[in-house]
Amino acid sequence: MLCRGSKKTTGSGNLQFLFWAVLLMVAGYVGVSMFKPYFAYRSLERTMEQWAKITLFRGGRNYADLNEKIKWVIDRHKIPLDIKDVEIVYDPEEKMLSVYAEYDVYVTFPGYEHHYFFQPYAEVYADED
């Protein structure tokens, strides 16, 4: 028995829920796909800066650990960058170590392609203590 003022459900609530659930999933997928290249870039830049500091603290001439860590981040995030394209320059007069790279990333969806151009850069100076 129905009470006065109650409505019958016709199933449109289920269809509306399904629509919003699909829309939310698509928006989440697009958001994650667009954010991943930026996250990889920031991770690479932080690693470059941290390991440049460590390398500079150790004397600034042996780049094996720095190269190894950068390569690990490149492989982990599948960054389209070859370790040979990463420039490492040590200036003994300034006691400065700089690390630079550049690469392109394309995120493709049906009917749309977004282009990112990244230039991770780290410049570290020795402390004059």
- For 77-110, the pLDDT digits (tens) are 999 999 999 999 988 888 899 999 999 999 998 8
- d(CA 39, CA 84) in angstroms, rounded, equals 22
Q: Which residue has the tokens 């460590």?
A: 54
Helix (H) or strand (E) holding 103: strand 103-109
Q: How far is CA 100 from CA 18, 57, 119, in A?
A: 47, 19, 7
Please answer whether residues 98 and 123 qualify as being in contact, where contact means their C-beta atoms are separated by less than 8 angstroms: yes
| Span 19-38, average pLDDT | 92
Phi-psi sector, 60: left (phi>0), alpha (psi -120 to 50), beta: left
Both tokens of 14, joined, read 């289920």
pTM listed for this prediction:
0.78
How would residue 61 be classed by pLDDT, with cut points 50, 70 and 90? confident
pLDDT greater than 90 at residue 43: yes
Phi-psi sector, 51: left (phi>0), alpha (psi -120 to 50), beta: alpha
Which residue stretches of 58-112 are H helix?
64-77
| Span 39-66, average pLDDT | 90
Task: Compute the half-sphere exposure of residue 29: CA atoms within 13 Å on the CB side of its CA.
Answer: 8
| Span 42-65, average pLDDT | 89
Bridge partner residues of 87 (DSSP): 100
How would residue 129 be classed by pLDDT, with cut points 50, 70 and 90? very low
pLDDT of res. 101? 96
pLDDT of res. 113? 94
pLDDT of res. 122? 94
Rounded to the nearest 5°, which phi and psi values hold at 111? 85, 0
| Span 7-33, average pLDDT | 83
